[in-house]
Amino acid sequence: MIDEEHLKEMNKVMKLLSNPVRVQMLYMLENKSMSVNELSEKLSVEQSVEQSVVSHNLALLREYQLVMAERQGKYNYYQLNDPHILDVINETLEHVDHVIRGKLHGE
């Protein structure tokens, strides 16, 4: 059995990952540090996301140690802090692919 504390924290992380903007941000930060402006520009083109939304979501991801920030001049540059979270997302996407295709696992 999983203890109550771990279940509660896991639930919080899964809620963080249920937001498509946050998932996209994690992938964008996989190989490159980016500022809020850079993330906003890229996300606004793809999903019409405003800078304030990016900042808010970065704060949430940072709180759960999924990203970290490094100050360079007057800007913070964010990078992925916990790369194995992408493994969790990738495994979930693989499961989703099976569901969408109506296939059993292993097919």
Model pLDDT for residues 5-16, shown as the tens digit of each residue:
999 999 999 999
The domain spans of the chain are 4-81
Q: What is the pLDDT of residue 44?
A: 79
CATH topology of domain 4-81: Arc Repressor Mutant, subunit A (1.10.10)
What is the percent of the chain where pLDDT is above 70?
A: 95
Give the contacts of 1 (CB within 8 A, at least 6 positions apart).
Answer: none
Kindly indicate the confidence band of residue 94, based on its pLDDT and cuts at 50, 70 and 90. very high
Q: 38-51 burial string, b = 16+ CB within 10 Å, else e? A: bbbebbeeeeebee
Whether pLDDT at 20 is above 90: yes
Q: What is the pLDDT of residue 104?
A: 80
Mean predicted lDDT score pLDDT of the chain: 92
Q: What is the pLDDT of residue 46?
A: 65
Is the pTM for the entire model greater than 0.85? yes
Tell me the backbone φ, ψ of residue 80, rounded to 5 degrees.
Answer: -65, 130
Whether pLDDT at 3 is above 80: yes
Model pLDDT for residues 38-66, shown as the tens digit of each residue:
999 998 766 677 888 999 999 999 999 99
